[in-house]
Structure 1
Amino acid sequence: MQFHLVLPGLAWPRSGASHAAGDLSLPALSALLGHAQASWQPAVAPETWLVARFGGTDVRLPYAALRRAGEAPPAADAHWLCCDPVHLHFSRDKLLLADASGLGITADETATLIAGLNDTFADIGRFEAPAPDRWYVALTDEPRPFFHPLPDVNGRPVQLFMPEGEDIARWARLSNELEVWLYNHPVNAAREAAGQRVINGVWLWGAGPADVRLQAPAPRIQADAPFARGLARFAGVDPEATERYLDGTGFAVVSSLQRPALHLDATAWQAALQQLEQHWFAPLLAALKAKRIRTLTISAPSDKHCLQLEISAGSLWKFWRKPQTLAAVLATAPQPASTTP
């Protein structure tokens, strides 16, 4: 009887003398940490880490189809491509990309732009936007190039991440046409007049074969992010909500810490951590004490380093082990290898 809780963003990056978790009252988490066997694993993107838990590989993974499946059951006959809105800007002589997480795109703006894309580019495919920062295009044929994932490109020079492989000229041309159309759209004229960054591009990515086979890591899965929910659905499990721990064994992916950690938003990260204390850490600690579960694993995958915690019900009887703060555990994170010029 075991439970696996996955928390991308838990390993908040340490900066300066204090830590974002330093002043928080988290008695249940501190008790769990005091009895945990902690280890630091190699850095890995949370999405790549999750794919491995479902028995897959990220080589030509149909990320777009998986993420779209996590939004709602998609059309079975479509080949999906993420078509996420971005802001492109020059810094010195390099064209940089910023994803939509900091653009504040509204639902009305999204609806207007998606309607225009479907009117103007109907010969390409059908555009959809379940959320203002997550757009898709449904295609009749699978795209042949390799498209670099958006998280790899965010904040970096676009020219380093152009499509590779077959038929790249077609997709480069389409990207340029979409950029021109967006640049000239009244939505962006209004954003510019209001002093907001414009939505002047999309990033096409996530193509892959639709027949990927996955295996669920547990019969019961809780997940909130569309990609994790899509993995569960492809593995034949209908994912449940993540508002709280549902008593019993299972596998849960709770992503409430991920975006605040990415943007170094300490206030939002602390609020999410306190919600986890109430709805996850305290109930899981109670389940361990009552031996309704025998083992709890907490994983925090990150592209900086991956924290793994193992807590057994038997270890809770080791009264000499004292509670430990999250800040103290995170302070043991391995430092990046120094480089010499």
Structure 2
Amino acid sequence: MQFHLVVPGLAWPTAAFGKLPAAPPLTALPVLLGHASHAWRPAVALETWLAGEFGLNGGHTPYAHLRRLGEATNTPKDVHWLCCDPVHLHFSRDRLLLADASSLAITRAEADILMTGINETFADIGRFEAPTADRWYVALPDEPKPFFHPIADVSGRPVQLFMPEGDEVARWARLSNELEVWLYNHPVNAARQEAGQRTINGVWLWGAGPRDAPAHTPASHIQADQPFARGLARHAGIEVQAADRYREQPGTTLAIVDSLQRPALHMDSAAWLAAIEELDTNWFAPLLAALKAKQISKLRISAPGDKHFLHIEVSASGLWKFWRKPRPLDTLLASAPAPNPQNP
């Protein structure tokens, strides 16, 4: 039995943001790292990497369809989905930058008000919906033709480098501009500005692709709470379990645990330290015990991110090497190569 744990945000970017202010009192992870081999690979977004694991490597991976399939609410059939995620656009010097919804703290009430207004104003485009306050979609009768860059590639970077490409670009650029104007003038944003919050002054359209793209499952069992991962599993025809703790199961397991992702993205060291302590209790400790008991033959830990991709492997057969000392996580992270300036 092999277990593959995917933990985006595990590789706290020390080279860019400095050492963590305090070393978390972990017990299991340092032991695993002391017996592990590791490799630093080029940066890759979680969604892009996951799509590849499920056999979707084309330029038109249907991210919107798959993410919508993983939401808690029912997914209407016979429509084409496009992510229409709320963002904050702002200028830094002469560059227009995008901040995604993870920094906006949009409330459910705000999202509902905006969805009602958008559907009334843009009913000729499609049906807009927000299964969660910070993940928006539009259901369309036909698949959009342009290539849209994923929002993970654009967040924090100059927007002009990631404009849509291909056919019918002007149509979608016009819709994006009209939505920006509508949002800018909405009372919800006037209230947010009055309260000192960032406004929801734009959307990022992305994720179009053929909804019938074939996929295969990379493991016998999938544990995930992240909607894109859940949608991938459902698209591949496999039942999804919650990613709340390690579960002993026959065969192979792929578990995606994203509790470190947002704290790492926003450099929130306090939240990151609290989340990794919980990971040590619910995941690393039982995985270490399972390796020692030979219930797992190999543990792989993957940490995709926008600075590096960290890959770790631990074999049950190697745990007998008693002279191997625990390796603190911050020591491993300090070995990360400097990010490529071409891909900040």
TM-score per shorter chain, which class? over 0.9
CA distance in 2, matches of 1:44, 1:156: 15
CA distance in 2, matches of 1:329, 1:316: 19
Deviating more after overlay: 104-113 vs 328-337: 328-337
CA distance in 2, matches of 1:131, 1:198: 18
Q: For residues 330 and 98 of structure 1, do their structure 2 counterparts lie closer, same or farther at Cα, with a shift above 3 Å needed?
A: same
8 Å Cα contact 1:21/1:326 also seen in 2 = no
**1:104 matched residue in structure 2:** 105
**2:14 matched residue in structure 1:** 14
Secondary structure of 2:85's counterpart equals strand
8 Å Cα contact 2:108/2:133 also seen in 1 = yes
Kindly state the Cα deviation for residue 301 of structure 1 after the two structures are TM-superposed.
1.4
Give structure 1 regions of 4+ aligned residues with deviation exceeding 3 angstroms.
Answer: 15-18, 336-339
Secondary structure of 2:319's counterpart equals helix
- May I ask how many residue pairs the two structures share in their alignment? 339
**1:243 matched residue in structure 2:** 244
CA distance in 1, matches of 2:306, 2:15: 17
Asked if 1:254 is matched to 2:257, the reply is yes
8 Å Cα contact 1:42/1:305 also seen in 2 = yes
Kindly state the Cα deviation for residue 145 of structure 1 after the two structures are TM-superposed.
0.9
Q: For residues 17 and 84 of structure 1, do their structure 2 counterparts lie closer, same or farther at Cα, with a shift above 3 Å needed?
A: closer
Q: After superposition, where does 1:21-170 map in structure 2 within 5 Å? A: 22-72=22-72, 73-170=74-171
Kindly state the Cα deviation for residue 21 of structure 1 after the two structures are TM-superposed.
7.7
TM-score by length of 2: 0.94
Within the candidate set 307, 312, 323, 2:310 is matched to 307
8 Å Cα contact 1:48/1:58 also seen in 2 = no
Unaligned stretches of 5+ residues in structure 2: none
Q: For residues 251 and 21 of structure 1, do their structure 2 counterparts lie closer, same or farther at Cα, with a shift above 3 Å needed?
A: farther
Deviating more after overlay: 314-323 vs 86-95: 86-95
Deviations 1:2-28, CA, capped at 9 Å, x for gaps? 111011110001159973285211111
**1:233 matched residue in structure 2:** 234
8 Å Cα contact 1:51/1:58 also seen in 2 = no
CA distance in 2, matches of 1:92, 1:199: 20
The one-letter amino acid paired with 1:138 is A
Asked if 1:5 is matched to 2:16, the reply is no
Secondary structure of 1:71's counterpart equals coil
CA distance in 1, matches of 2:69, 2:318: 40
Secondary structure of 2:130's counterpart equals strand
**1:211 matched residue in structure 2:** 212
Kindly state the Cα deviation for residue 91 of structure 1 after the two structures are TM-superposed.
2.6
Q: For residues 241 and 182 of structure 1, do their structure 2 counterparts lie closer, same or farther at Cα, with a shift above 3 Å needed?
A: same
Q: For residues 255 and 338 of structure 1, do their structure 2 counterparts lie closer, same or farther at Cα, with a shift above 3 Å needed?
A: closer
CA distance in 1, matches of 2:166, 2:91: 26
CA distance in 2, matches of 1:163, 1:17: 31
8 Å Cα contact 2:128/2:137 also seen in 1 = yes
Kindly state the Cα deviation for residue 194 of structure 1 after the two structures are TM-superposed.
1.4
TM-score by length of 1: 0.95
CA distance in 2, matches of 1:55, 1:221: 15
8 Å Cα contact 1:21/1:327 also seen in 2 = no
Deviations 1:205-247, CA, capped at 9 Å, x for gaps? 1101111111111111001211111111111112110110111
Identity of aligned residues (%): 66
Kindly state the Cα deviation for residue 295 of structure 1 after the two structures are TM-superposed.
0.9
Secondary structure of 1:57's counterpart equals coil
The one-letter amino acid paired with 2:14 is R
Kindly state the Cα deviation for residue 289 of structure 1 after the two structures are TM-superposed.
1.0
Q: For residues 21 and 29 of structure 1, do their structure 2 counterparts lie closer, same or farther at Cα, with a shift above 3 Å needed?
A: farther
8 Å Cα contact 1:7/1:257 also seen in 2 = yes
8 Å Cα contact 1:21/1:270 also seen in 2 = no
Unaligned stretches of 5+ residues in structure 1: none
Deviating more after overlay: 96-105 vs 131-140: 96-105
Within the candidate set 283, 291, 311, 1:288 is matched to 291
8 Å Cα contact 1:289/1:316 also seen in 2 = yes
Deviating more after overlay: 201-210 vs 149-158: 149-158
8 Å Cα contact 1:83/1:204 also seen in 2 = yes
Deviating more after overlay: 16-25 vs 68-77: 16-25
The one-letter amino acid paired with 1:48 is T
- RMSD (Å), alpha carbons: 1.7
8 Å Cα contact 2:15/2:336 also seen in 1 = no
The one-letter amino acid paired with 2:49 is W
Within the candidate set 252, 267, 284, 1:264 is matched to 267
Within the candidate set 326, 329, 333, 2:329 is matched to 326
Q: For residues 125 and 17 of structure 1, do their structure 2 counterparts lie closer, same or farther at Cα, with a shift above 3 Å needed?
A: closer
Secondary structure of 1:245's counterpart equals coil
